[in-house]
Structure 1
Amino acid sequence: MEVPISQIIFQQTLLVLLKEKAVWVPSLQSIFIADLHFGKAAHFRKSGIPIPEPIHQVDLLNLDYLITNYSPQNVYFLGDLFHSDWNGQWNVLNEFLSTFTDVTFHLVLGNHDILPPLHYKEAVFQIHKSPIEIGNLILSHEPLEEIAEDRINLCGHIHPGIRLVGKARQSIRLSCFHYKPNQLILPAFGRFTGLALVKPKSTDQVFGITNEKVIPILS
C-alpha cells in the first residue's frame, strides 16, 4: 500500500486523501466515495450521444484497487452513485460489488439516485435517505450548512476542481478535495463527470489530484 501523502486530522480522526479520489479513515476501517455517476454513458447513449461504455470500467478498476488494498469493512457512497434512470449498468455495478463479501456497502442518497425503491431494496447497499453520523463524521450528499463544531461533514455533489496557471499562462484543471472548517467536499469519483472550479477562502485548504499523488495547493 502506498504511503499517504496528504491527510487531514480532525479532532484526532485521521482522514487520508487518496489519488483515487476517495477518503480512507483507518480508525473506522472505512472508505468514502462521492459522485460515481455509474451508468451515465448508457444514459447519454439512450439520448443519441455516442459515449463508449468502457469509460466506466476504469471506475470499477479503481474500486477494485481500493477495496483490495485497504480491506475496508465499510464503503460509503455519498450520493449520485448511479446516474438517474435505470439501465443495465445498475446490474453490472451490483454484481461487481457483490463479489466483495466481507464489505458492507452504504449509499447516502443523492439527487441523481432516483431509481424505483424496488431496485434499492434488491441491491447490495444499505440505503440512507438522510445524512448519517459515523463517529464524528456527518455523511451527506450535498454540503450541509449547519455543522456542530465537534463534527466534520463529508460530502460531494459539487465535483470540486481547481485551475492552476503557469508562468507562461498555460493552465491545467484538476479535481480536488476542498476542505473548509468542519467540512470536506470530495471530488467526483466517476471519470464521466465535470468539474466546478472552487473559490477557496483564506481558511480553506485545497488538495489537487494528479495520476500520481494528492498535492496540497492552498493551506
Structure 2
Amino acid sequence: MLAEQAAPGRPLAIECAGEMLWLLPERALWWPAGRVLWVADLHLGKAATYRALGQPVPAGTTRENLARLSALLHHYQPAQLVFLGDFLHAAQARTTSLLAELAGWRQGHAALPCVLVRGNHDSRAGDPPLLLDIETVDEPWPIGPFAACHHPQKVAARYVIAGHLHPALTLRGPGRDHLRLPCFSFDERCAVLPAFGEFTGGWQVERQPGRTLYAVGGQAVWRVPAGR
C-alpha cells in the first residue's frame, strides 16, 4: 500500500520517567527502549455512527485511520501496540464493512501483540471482536515505569500515559489570526496524547505552571513556549 510507504514526519524526543519518548506528528507516541507504539482515541466508526443517525458525514475515515496506523507500524516495527482507550466509537460502529476493514488490517499485522486499555466508549461499544486478537485490560495497566490509562489520573510510583481529552491548543498571531492544533500535554505525573482518529474534535487545554505542551502540525512536533 502506498500509505505504508509514506515517509514519517519529524518526531520530537523528550525525557520522561527516566526514559526517552518520541512524540510523533502522526499523533502517536513511540517508546524506543520498550519498542512500544501508543495511540489514543481512534474512535473507529464514529462517522458511521453519525450516518446511522441520519447525519450526512463523510465516509472513509476508518480506512484513513488504519492506513496511517499501518504506516507507523511499517516504519517503527514495534514489539507491541497499545491503544489507550476508545477503540470503537459506539455499538452502531460495528458495521459489516468496518469489521471487514479491521479484519483485513489485523491480518496484515497478525504477529503484532496489541493491547486495548478500555475507555468510556469501549464500555458502550464493547470489546473488539475476538478475531482481531486484541488483548483488553482495565486501567491502570502497568508497563515499565508507566501506567497505561484512558482517563488522565495519578498512579502511585508510575508515570501515566493517557488519552480521553483529545487535547488541542490555540496559537495566537497578530490581530485576530489564530491557529488551533492538536497537542501533547505533559504534567508532572501524567501525559495526555492527542486523539489519533480523524473526526474526533478536541479539548482546549489550558496553559498552567508545571504543564508542558507540544503542538502538532506541518508534519512536526515542537514545544510551545509558555505564554504563546
Determine the structure 2 residue equivalent to 1:138: 147
Match of 1:99 among 108, 114, 122: 108
Match of 1:182 among 163, 182, 189: 189
2:40 is the alignment partner of 1:34: yes
- Distance in 2 separating the partners of 1:192 and 1:130: 25
Deviation track 1:71-115 (CA, whole Å, cap 9, x = no partner) reads: 001000000011111223133223312311231111011111133
2:217 is the alignment partner of 1:210: yes
Is the contact between residue 207 and residue 218 of structure 1 (CA under 8 Å) also seen in structure 2?
A: no
2:134 is the alignment partner of 1:125: yes
Is the contact between residue 43 and residue 87 of structure 1 (CA under 8 Å) also seen in structure 2?
A: no
- Distance in 1 separating the partners of 2:212 and 2:28: 16
Output the aligned Cα RMSD. Answer: 1.8
Any idea what SS the aligned residue of 2:132 has?
Answer: coil
Letter aligned with residue 207 of structure 1: Y
Moved over 6 A (4+): none
Is the contact between residue 103 and residue 131 of structure 2 (CA under 8 Å) also seen in structure 1?
A: no
Is the contact between residue 74 and residue 104 of structure 1 (CA under 8 Å) also seen in structure 2?
A: yes
Which TM-score applies when normalising by structure 1? 0.92
2:176 is the alignment partner of 1:169: yes
Is the contact between residue 39 and residue 90 of structure 1 (CA under 8 Å) also seen in structure 2?
A: no
- Distance in 2 separating the partners of 1:17 and 1:53: 28
Gaps of 5+ in 1: none
- Distance in 2 separating the partners of 1:111 and 1:181: 24
Question: How many residues get paired?
Answer: 216
Deviation track 1:137-158 (CA, whole Å, cap 9, x = no partner) reads: 10010111x333x421000000
Any idea what SS the aligned residue of 2:60 has?
Answer: helix
Any idea what SS the aligned residue of 2:50 has?
Answer: helix
Match of 2:67 among 61, 70, 93: 61
Deviation track 1:159-194 (CA, whole Å, cap 9, x = no partner) reads: 000001102320110000000112110000001110
User: Shift of residue 30 of structure 1?
Assistant: 0.7
Match of 2:30 among 24, 29, 36: 24
- Distance in 2 separating the partners of 1:18 and 1:116: 29
Is the contact between residue 165 and residue 192 of structure 2 (CA under 8 Å) also seen in structure 1?
A: yes
Structure 1 residues 97 and 214: CA distance shift in structure 2, 3 A: same
- Distance in 1 separating the partners of 2:126 and 2:208: 40
Of residues 58-67 and 75-84 in structure 1, the stretch that sits farther from structure 2 once superposed is: 58-67
Residue identity (%)? 30
Of residues 123-132 and 193-202 in structure 1, the stretch that sits farther from structure 2 once superposed is: 123-132
2:17 is the alignment partner of 1:11: yes
Any idea what SS the aligned residue of 2:21 has?
Answer: strand
Which TM-score applies when normalising by structure 2? 0.88
2:60 is the alignment partner of 1:50: no
Gaps of 5+ in 2: 1-6
